[in-house]
Amino acid sequence: MSGYYLAQVEQQRNAAEDELAKLRAWVREYRIRAEAAEAAVARGRALAAEMRTWCSPHGIADLYADRLDQALDTPTN
C-alpha cells in the first residue's frame, strides 16, 4: 500500500473517531438531561400525592393534584 493511501485511511479514521467522540458527548449530555427531567417529574408526582392529603376548601388541593398528574401524563410534541 502506498503512503498516500495509508495517510488517507488514517485521516478518515481520525475523523470518524472525532465524530464518535462528539456523539458520545451528546449522548452523555442528553442522558443527564433525561435523568434530571425524570427526577423533576418524580418530584411533581410526589407533590401531587402530598397535595391529596392537604385540607383545602371545596377540595381544591385534590383538584389541583389531579390536574398536575394529568399534565405529567400528557405527552408533548
pLDDT in tens, 15-67: 999 999 999 999 999 999 999 999 999 999 999 999 999 999 888 999 999 99
Domains held by the chain: number? 1
Contact (CB, 8 A) for 68 and 48: yes
What confidence category does residue 76 fall into, taking pLDDT thresholds of 50, 70 and 90?
A: confident
**6: amino acid identity, one letter:** L
In this structure, the number of other CB atoms found within 10 A of the CB of residue 44 comes to 14
Q: What is the domain extent for residue 61?
A: 3-73
CB atoms within 10 A of CB 64: 16
pTM, 2 dp: 0.68
